[in-house]
């Protein structure tokens, strides 16, 4: 934390030529102007003037994150890109306002922290911690509308746009929800900062994070044994007189998909230190599989801001298109700037990933390679639930590691949809959740998430793979 940013005037609604406009009497450009490019997956806002008012409001609200924090994350990701660290990204597919509670935020944070401890200890490697959190309120959907029993309404586009309730009025996009998303993100970040800087993330709490785990949980028990070892190591270090600050607090970063540009564009600010634009809606933003057109508005948006950026790459990715994206998003080859988040599916990863990795590595671009083993492995269960097989998740992770090992590139991280609660949304895992149990506790607003047990199990597996590299 630390650097200040300049607050801006209202972003132009007219989106004239790309570039920045200087404020009168100021040396620094203060307003980012957005060119009118094709933007896929934007909400069908019914009231343009209400939207304009909301954009104007967003444009003067305080930043949620600071440019200096984004730079720090980029530096940490540069260490990942060069093979000296691992990045863990985890959280909800779609955050909801209803679940933006202290308990839910703490549970998700705790799950990521526990996974990170397992990875750090098992792989003996620094782990950069990133939450799909405090901004993940917007969803691209496969169809713009949904029909049930003859009634057709807008698809649910995330709490930041409309309500999940299947009713015409509830599904009407409401720009006021952009402000609500900002406020919810602000409250979540405030709590996350308090937890991670104020003692909760102290490594001496490794046992405490595990306390509410079910007694017969194999992953919880395994974790407990590791936590005891970590405690002994910490006690030894303390006895030797070492008590570094790093053990007491954790740097935790917020990430979300930069999807709804009417939210993202007004939340771009000029960093007063450098005069460069940054998104202040989150530390790390990614461009989704459906909006990564190199000529489209989302990629242009990502190219304009100086935050570290992710791009999702699905199984149909043409390796040359990946290179074009890199040239556009990181022409200066800034280390840590780009993470390529591959989500190929367990059955395709070994076939399609090698070509992409080889071409990118040969191009001279140094990227962070991240495995998203969720989005290529979604299917519908016989009960009609969207689900994922834990074995497929593991299968894609193994394929990802094998491909990178064969090529000699660094498998830099994992991007997981998870929750801290004992939901039943993905089938399999040690507790063997079966399809007929999916309805027991199926709570996601969008894609199925790993529960805490499954998340920890995955972390143990990856720490074994990383540790044996
Ligand atoms: C997501 O991360 O929730 C998502 C929609 O992913 P993708 O863009 O990879 O499909
Ligand atoms: Co998802």
Please give the average pLDDT of every successive group of 10 residues along the chain, which has 469 residues.
34 36 52 93 98 97 97 98 98 98 96 95 95 98 97 98 98 98 98 92 85 78 90 91 88 98 97 94 98 98 98 98 98 98 98 98 97 97 94 97 98 97 91 90 95 95 87
What is the 94 CA–ligand 2 centroid distance (Å)?
Answer: 7
For residue 289, how far is its CA from the centre of ligand 1 (angstroms)? 6
**Which ligand has its closest atom nearest to the C-alpha of 446?**
2
Which atom, in ligand 1's list, is nearest to the CA of 288? 8
Distance 4 CA to ligand 1 centre (A): 32
- Name residue 316's beta-bridge partners: none
Does some domain include residue 297?
yes
Atom 10 of ligand 1: nearest residue by CA position: 289
Nearest by Cα to 129 from 258, 237, 249: 249
Pocket of ligand 1 (CB under 6 A): 93, 140, 257, 288-290, 312, 343, 375, 447
Cross-strand partners of 132: 91, 255
With respect to residue 239, please indicate whether it lies within any of the assigned structural domains: no
Q: How far is the CA of 190 from the centre of ligand 2 (A)?
A: 24
DSSP state letter for 385: -
Mutate which of 158, 447, 450 to test ligand 1's pocket (most atoms within 8 Å of Cβ)? 447
Question: In this predicted structure, what is the pLDDT of residue 11?
Answer: 33
Report if residue 398 sits inside a domain.
Answer: yes
Q: How far is Cα of residue 298 from the mean position of the Cα atoms in its chain?
A: 16
User: Which of 93, 94, 140 gets mutated to test ligand 1 (max ligand atoms within 8 A of its CB)?
Assistant: 140
Task: Identify the nearest ligand to the CA of 444 by its number.
Answer: 2
Ligand 1 pocket, mutate which of 257, 260, 340, 416 (most atoms under 8 A from CB): 257
Distance of CA 254 to the CA centre of its chain: 7
Instruction: For residue 131, report the distance from its CA to the centre of ligand 1, in Å.
Output: 15
CATH code of the domain in which 424 resides:
3.20.20.70
Indicate which atom in ligand 1 lies nearest the CA of residue 372: 9
Instruction: Give how far Cα 428 sits from Cα of 29, 211, 218, 383, Å.
Output: 53, 24, 14, 15
Q: How far is the CA of 290 from the centre of ligand 1 (A)?
A: 8
**Residue 339 resides in a domain:** yes
Q: Name the closest-CA residue to atom 2, ligand 1.
A: 93
- Residues 177, 138, 272: CA angle, nearest 5 degrees: 80
Question: In terms of Cα–Cα distance, which of 189, 161, 183, 169 is closest to 57?
Answer: 183
The number of the ligand nearest the C-alpha atom of 256 reads: 1
Which helix (H) or strand (E) segment holds residue 195: the answer is helix 176-197
Question: What whole-number distance in Å separates Cα of residue 394 and Cα of residue 400?
Answer: 10
Is 281 buried (19+), middle (13-18) or exposed (0-12) by CB count in 10 A? buried
Look up residue 136 and give its two tokens: 């993940």
CA angle 72, 73, 78 (to 5 degrees): 100
Count of helices and strands (H, E) across the chain: 11, 17
Closest ligand to the CA of 292: 1
pLDDT of residue 56: 96
The total of structural domains in the chain comes to 1
**Which atom in ligand 1 lies closest to the alpha carbon of residue 132?**
2
Quick one: which ligand is closest to 311's CA?
1
In a domain, residue 27? The reply is no
Helix (H, G, I), strand (E, B) or coil at 345: coil
Distance 243 CA to ligand 1 centre (A): 41
**In the chain, how long is the greatest CA-to-CA distance?**
72
| For ligand 1, mutation pick of 95, 136, 290, 373 (most atoms within 8 Å of CB) | 290
Tell me if 11 is assigned to some domain: no
Distance from the CA of 346 to the center of ligand 2, in angstroms? 16
Q: Is residue 191 part of a domain?
A: yes
Q: Are 90 and 418 contacting, i.e. CB atoms less than 8 angstroms apart?
A: yes
Measured in angstroms, how far is the CA atom of residue 91 from the centroid of ligand 2? 10
Q: What is the CA(321)–ligand 2 centre distance, in A? A: 23
How many angstroms separate the CA atoms of 130 and 354, rounded? 26
Protein residue whose Cα sits closest to atom 4 of ligand 1 = 288
Question: Which residue's alpha carbon is nearest to atom 3 within ligand 1?
Answer: 93
CB 241 within 8 A of CB 272: no
Q: Which domain holds residue 66?
A: 44-201+249-467
Q: How many angstroms separate the CA atoms of 242 and 27, rounded?
A: 47
Ligand 1 atom having least distance to the Cα of 139: 5
- The per-residue pLDDT for 14 is 29
229 Cα–ligand 2 center, Å: 35
Q: What is the DSSP letter of 433?
A: B
Please give the Cα distance from 241 to 256 (Å, whole number): 40
Protein residue with least CA distance to atom 1, ligand 1? 93
Structure tokens at 84: 């000296």
The torsion angles phi and psi of 451, rounded to 5 degrees, stand at -85, -175
Residues 6+ apart with CB under 8 A from 417: 90, 91, 92, 93, 132, 374, 447, 448, 449, 450
For the beta carbon of residue 70, count every other beta carbon within 10 angstroms: 24
Q: Is residue 207 part of a domain?
A: no
């Amino acid at each position: 934390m630390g650097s200040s940013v300049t607050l801006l005037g209202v972003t132009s609604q007219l989106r004239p030529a790309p570039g920045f406009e200087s404020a009168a009497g100021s040396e620094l450009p203060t307003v980012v102007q957005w060119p009118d490019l094709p933007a896929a997956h934007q909400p069908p806002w019914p009231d343009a003037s209400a939207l304009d008012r909301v954009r104007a409001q967003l444009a003067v609200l305080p930043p949620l994150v600071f440019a200096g924090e984004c730079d720090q994350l980029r530096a940490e990701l540069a260490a990942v890109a060069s093979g000296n660290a691992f990045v863990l990204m985890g959280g909800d597919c779609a955050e909801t306002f209803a679940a933006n509670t202290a308990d839910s935020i703490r549970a998700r944070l705790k799950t990521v922290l526990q996974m990170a401890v397992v990875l750090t200890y098992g792989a003996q490697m620094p782990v950069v911690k990133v939450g799909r959190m405090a901004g993940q309120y917007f969803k691209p959907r496969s169809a713009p509308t949904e029909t049930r029993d003859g009634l057709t309404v807008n698809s649910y586009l995330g709490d930041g746009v409309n309500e999940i309730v299947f009713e015409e009025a509830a599904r009407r996009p409401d720009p006021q929800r952009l402000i609500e998303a900002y406020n919810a993100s602000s409250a979540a970040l405030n709590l996350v900062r308090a937890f991670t800087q104020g003692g909760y993330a102290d490594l001496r709490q490794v046992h405490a994070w595990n306390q509410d785990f079910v007694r017969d949980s194999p992953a919880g028990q395994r974790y407990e044994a590791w936590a005891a070892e970590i405690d002994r190591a910490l006690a030894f270090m303390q006895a030797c007189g070492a008590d570094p600050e790093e053990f007491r607090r954790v740097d935790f970063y917020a990430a979300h998909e930069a999807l709804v540009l009417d939210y993202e564009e007004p939340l771009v600010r000029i960093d007063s230190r450098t005069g460069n634009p940054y998104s202040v809606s989150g530390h790390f933003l990614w461009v989704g599989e459906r909006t990564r057109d190199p000529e489209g508005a989302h990629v242009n948006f990502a190219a304009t801001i100086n935050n570290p950026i992710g791009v999702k790459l699905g199984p149909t990715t043409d390796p040359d298109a990946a290179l074009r994206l890199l040239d556009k998003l990181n022409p200066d080859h800034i280390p840590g700037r780009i993470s390529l988040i591959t989500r190929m599916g367990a059955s395709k990863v070994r076939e399609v990933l090698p070509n992409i990795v080889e071409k990118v590595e040969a191009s001279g671009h140094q990227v962070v390679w991240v495995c998203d083993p969720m989005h290529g492995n979604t299917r519908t269960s016989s009960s009609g639930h969207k689900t994922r097989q834990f074995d497929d998740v593991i299968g894609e992770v193994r394929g990802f590691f094998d491909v990178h090992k064969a090529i000699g590139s660094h498998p830099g991280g994992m991007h997981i949809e998870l929750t801290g609660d004992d939901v039943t949304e993905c089938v399999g895992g040690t507790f063997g959740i079966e399809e007929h149990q999916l309805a027991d506790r199926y709570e996601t607003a969008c894609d199925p998430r790993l529960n805490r047990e499954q998340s920890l199990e995955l972390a143990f597996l990856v720490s074994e793979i990383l540790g044996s590299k």
